[in-house]
Amino acid sequence: MRAVFINGSPRRNQNTFKMLDAARKGAESAGADTEMIHLFASEFTGCKSCFACKLKNSKTNGLCAVKDALRPILEKCVAADVIVCGSPVYLSAPTGQLRSFIERLVFPLITYMVDENGQHLRVRDKLVPTAVIYTMNCPESWMERFNYPLLLEVTADNLRAAFGHSEVLYSCDTYQFNDYSRYDINMFDETKKREHRDKQFPIDLDNAYNLGRRLVEKAGEADGTN
Ligand SMILES: Cc1cc2nc3c(=O)[nH]c(=O)nc-3n(C[C@H](O)[C@H](O)[C@H](O)COP(=O)(O)O)c2cc1C
C-alpha cells in the first residue's frame, strides 16, 4: 500500500507541511509506505492543452505527455493507493503550483466520453481515496462569508472525478509568522493567533492523522487487503 503526500505550500516546514506530515504518520500507522513530495522543489507548468492524453490509439492516452519535472511525480501518484494534497489558501484558492499539479494529474484521467446513459466515463475504475488539506488565515466563522466551502471544494470534486473518492480537511486561523511585530498588520491579534495555535492546531493535527489512517483503511477495503 503506497500513500503519497503532496505539499503545495512554498514553505517546507510550516502549517500545511505539518498537517500533511500528521496525515502521513496516520497513513504509516495503518501500514502504508509513504512519501512526501514538495511541489515547490520542482519547476513545472500547468496543462498545455496538447490533448495527447485524449489522443485515439496513443500510448499517452490517459497520461500527461508533458516532459518536465512533474512527470515522475505524476507517475508516482498514478501508481499510488492513496493521495493527499495540501495547500495554503492563496486569494481564496489553492496555490498556483497545486492547481497546475491537479490539472496535469486529473485532466488525463477524466474523459470526454459518456456511456449510453450519459454518465461520464473514468479512464480507470480503481478507487483511490484522496483528500485535500487546506490551511488558511481565515477563522472558521468567516468561511461561509467568503464562500470558501464552495470554492475550496472544487479541487476535491476534480479528484473525485478521477479517483472516485475525496475528502476536504481545513485548518483555520493559522499562525503565519514567527514574529508578528516585524510586519505591517493590524487585522490579526497576535496573542489570539498564538492561543489558537496552541489550543486548536494540535486538534487539527489529530484530525489530519486520523484522515491519513482512514484513507489507507479505505484503500485496503477497496482492494480487499483489509
Ligand atoms: C499570497 C498569499 C495569499 C493568501 N491568501 C489568503 C486567503 O485568501 N485567505 C486566507 O484565509 N489566507 C490567505 N493567506 C494565508 C495562508 O493561507 C495561511 O497563512 C496558511 O496557513 C499558510 O500556509 P503555510 O504555513 O504552509 O505557508 C495567504 C497567504 C499568502 C502568502
Q: Domain-by-domain residue ranges, the chain?
A: 2-223
| CA 60 to centroid of chain Cα atoms | 24
SS3 142: helix
Residue with cell 503519497: 4
Residues 6+ apart with CB under 8 A from 97: 8, 10, 39, 40
Q: How do the pLDDT tens digits run along the chain, 226 residues long? A: 999 999 999 999 999 999 999 999 999 999 999 999 999 999 999 999 999 999 999 988 999 999 999 999 999 999 999 999 999 999 999 999 999 999 999 999 999 899 999 888 888 889 999 999 999 999 999 999 999 999 999 999 999 999 999 999 999 999 999 889 999 999 889 999 999 999 999 999 999 999 999 999 999 998 877 6
CATH of 2-223, one of 3.40.50.720, 3.40.50.360, 3.30.70.100, 1.10.630.10: 3.40.50.360
Q: What are phi and psi of 13, to 5 degrees?
A: -140, 35
C-alpha cell recorded at residue 148: 470558501
Which of 9, 90, 204 has the most ligand 1 atoms within 8 A of CB, as the residue to mutate? 90
90 alpha carbon to ligand 1 midpoint, in Å? 5
pLDDT score at 102: 98
Atom number in ligand 1 closest to CA 10: 27
Whole-model pTM over 0.75:
yes
- Ligand 1 near 226 CB (within 6 A): no
Residue with cell 512554498: 10
